[in-house]
Amino acid sequence: FFGCNPFAQTGRSKLQNKRASLNQQIIKEMRLRAGAENLLKATSNNKVKDMVLLELSYVNSNLQLLMGELEELNSSVDVYQNTQETANIPLIALGLKETKEVDFSTPFKDFILEHYSEDGNSFEDEIADLMDLRQACRTPSRNEAGIELLAKYSSHLPLLESRFFSPNHQNGIFFTWYDSFTGVPVCQQNLSLEKASIVFNMGALYSQIGTRSDRQKTAGLDEAISSFQKAAGILNHLKETFTHTPSYDMSPAMLSMLIRMMLAQAQECLFEKIVLPGIQNQFYSLMKTAQEAAKVSEIYDHVYQSMIQMPIKDNVPLFWSTMAQIKANHYRSMAHYFVGSALLDHQLGPSDDEDQQEKTLSQVYDRLPEGQSPLDILKKRDERKCIGKAHIRRAIRGHEEALRIYGLCHNLSKMDALQDILKASHQRSLKKYSENDSEEEFTDYTEAPDIISKTEHKAEMEVPATTKVKVTDFFQRLGPLSVFSAKQRWTPPRTIRLCAEDLGFTLKGESPVQVVSLDPHCSAATDGLKEGDYIVAVGETDCKWMGVSEVMRLLKDVNEEGIDIQVVSMLDSNPPMPTKSATFCGNLPKTYSMICLAYNDDNKNPKSRKVTKKPSFLSWGLKNKLKSASTLSLPTEDRSSALPWNKPCPTFPSSSSYNEGALY
Q: Is residue 613 part of a domain?
A: no
The CATH number given to whatever domain includes residue 536 is: 2.30.42.10
* 360 and 266 assigned to the same domain: no
Last residue of a domain, one of 42, 76, 110: 76
Work out how many domains the chain is built from and give that number. 4
Mean pLDDT, rounded, of the chain: 78
| Per-residue 3-state assignment (H helix, E strand, C coil) for 506-537 | EEECCCCEEEEEECCCCHHHHCCCCCCCEEEE
Signed CA dihedral, 201, 203, 204, 208: sign only:
positive
Q: Can you tell me the distance from the alpha carbon of 479 to that of 493, in angstroms, rounded to the nearest whole number?
A: 13
* 191 and 121 assigned to the same domain: yes
Residues 378-401: pLDDT tens digits? 767 778 788 888 899 999 999 999
> What was the pLDDT predicted at 499?
77
Q: Is residue 427 part of a domain?
A: yes
* 301 and 205 assigned to the same domain: no
> What was the pLDDT predicted at 464?
82
Judged against a pLDDT cut of 70, whether residue 328 lies above it is answered with: yes
The CATH number given to whatever domain includes residue 130 is: 1.25.40.280
Q: Is residue 504 part of a domain?
A: yes
More confident of the two residues 185 and 168: 185
Judged against a pLDDT cut of 80, whether residue 19 lies above it is answered with: no
Q: Can you tell me the distance from the alpha carbon of 544 to that of 173, in angstroms, rounded to the nearest whole number?
A: 28
Last residue of a domain, one of 553, 569, 585: 569
> What was the pLDDT predicted at 575?
45
* 390 and 496 assigned to the same domain: no
Q: Is residue 333 part of a domain?
A: yes
> What was the pLDDT predicted at 555?
81
Mean pLDDT of 73-81: 58
* 243 and 193 assigned to the same domain: yes
* 348 and 232 assigned to the same domain: no
Mean pLDDT of 294-318: 91
Q: Which of 514, 455, 525, 512 is nearest to 481 (CA)?
A: 512
* 39 and 176 assigned to the same domain: no
More confident of the two residues 532 and 601: 532
More confident of the two residues 100 and 629: 100
Q: Considering the chain, what percentage of its residues have pLDDT values greater than 70?
A: 75
- Residue 4 pLDDT class (50, 70, 90 cuts): low
Mean pLDDT of 637-648: 38
- Residue 437 pLDDT class (50, 70, 90 cuts): confident
> What was the pLDDT predicted at 371?
61
> What was the pLDDT predicted at 209?
92
* 15 and 159 assigned to the same domain: no
* 482 and 495 assigned to the same domain: no
Q: Which of 541, 473, 544 is nearest to 511 (CA)?
A: 544
Give the domain extent around 307.
280-458
**Is residue 337 a contact partner of residue 391, using CB atoms and an 8 Å limit?**
yes
Judged against a pLDDT cut of 80, whether residue 613 lies above it is answered with: no
**Residue 101 Cα distances to 30, 131, 175, angstroms:** 20, 9, 8
* 551 and 510 assigned to the same domain: yes
Q: Considering the chain, what percentage of its residues have pLDDT values greater than 90?
A: 30
**What length does the chain have?**
664
Judged against a pLDDT cut of 60, whether residue 626 lies above it is answered with: no
Q: Is residue 622 part of a domain?
A: no
* 332 and 432 assigned to the same domain: yes
Q: Is residue 25 part of a domain?
A: yes
> What was the pLDDT predicted at 426?
93
Q: Is residue 660 part of a domain?
A: no
Residues paired with residue 187 on neighbouring β-strands, in sequence order:
176
Last residue of a domain, one of 22, 52, 76: 76
Q: Is residue 134 part of a domain?
A: yes
Q: What is the pTM of this model?
A: 0.77
Q: Which of 141, 181, 137, 134 is nearest to 22 (CA)?
A: 181
* 407 and 352 assigned to the same domain: yes
Q: Which of 423, 416, 418 is nearest to 400 (CA)?
A: 423
